[in-house]
Amino acid sequence: MANWLKNTIKNASSDCVVFGFEDFSLKILLYKRGINPCKGAWALPGGFLKKGELFEEAARRILKATTGVTDIYLEEVAVFDQLDRFPPWRVFTVGYFALVKPGKYKITATGLDSTEVRWFKFNELPELAWDHKQIVDTALHKLRSLVLHKPIGLELMPNKFTLPQLQTLYEVVLDRPLDRRNFRKKMIQMNLLKKLDERDPNNKTNAAYLYKFDKRVYNKLITKGFILE
């Protein structure tokens, strides 16, 4: 412990709510703690800041260690600083939410004292350590309001995807069904998508067309925003 503390700021940490989209559901990355405190409990990937490291840098370091992804979408959620959130002593944490693309990452446990790292459906989470449930809830809330005003699929979908897939993402995040035709119309009229000549090879019956995001438009909408309904 003494050695561990040497290069560490012991009252400041970053925690990441990592969202991924797989098997038609929205998932969150958790790890099982291998050491005390809270050994055996599931927790968000996170950790103390090193000296000379920014909160966001710490978050990226942790994400690289857990997912292997270096260029990742990251946004600050909020500060969490309840006095008793980390009982051994007082620690402020900055919560981030991150979006990662399936296929682009591979989960490891490098850099975390952990016995296991895996995805959970966002609505079937286990009990979480400390105040991590609260961080997840805040991040989910932010994701839901984000999705209505900015495009988000680029960070979560594979490079080529079908419109029904994208719609499912939106339905899962918003937790309600959307009208197929209106969803298509909206996406297409924003010029957000480029239709490819390929079709979904996975699907059996009537294969859906694949699309890519038009990154130019995508980035413009990220800064400018839009209104989905």
Partner DNA sequence: ACAAAAGTGTTCAGCGTACACCCATGC
Partner DNA sequence: GCATGGGTGTACGCTGAACACTTTTGT
The strand pair at 73-80 and 92-99 is best described as antiparallel
The DSSP letter of residue 109 is -
Window 38-77: residues binding a copy of itself (CB under 8 A): 52, 54-55, 76
Which residue bears the tokens 């991150």?
98
Residue type, 157: M
Structure tokens at 106: 């591979």
The DSSP letter of residue 85 is S
Does 11 bind a copy of itself (CB under 8 A)? Our answer is: yes
Burial of 80 (0-12, 13-18, 19+ CB in 10 A): buried
Residue type, 221: L
116 flagged as catalytic? yes
Single out the residue of 92, 120, 209, 226 in contact with a copy of itself (rule: CB under 8 A): 92
Single out the residue of 61, 73, 81, 168 in contact with a copy of itself (rule: CB under 8 A): 81
Single out the residue of 62, 94, 140, 156 in contact with a copy of itself (rule: CB under 8 A): 94
Q: Please, which residue, 64 or 150, has the CB nearer to DNA?
A: 150
Give the nearest distance from C-beta 1 to a copy of itself in angstroms.
20
How many residues touch a copy of itself under the rule CB under 8 A: the total is 15
Write out the E strands in 23-154.
25-33, 42-43, 46-50, 73-80, 92-99, 114-121
Q: Please, which residue, 7 or 203, has the CB nearer to DNA?
A: 203
Does 227 bind a copy of itself (CB under 8 A)? Our answer is: yes
Single out the residue of 35, 79, 196, 207 in contact with a copy of itself (rule: CB under 8 A): 79
Q: Please tell me the distance from the alpha carbon of residue 153 to that of residue 143, in angstroms, as a whole number.
A: 12
- Selected catalytic residue, list 116, 124, 171, 198: 116
Give the nearest distance from C-beta 51 to a copy of itself in angstroms.
8
Structure tokens at 18: 């990592």
Active site residues: 116
Question: Can you give the binding site for a copy of itself, defined by CB under 8 A?
Answer: 9, 11-12, 52, 54-55, 76, 78-79, 81-83, 92, 94, 227
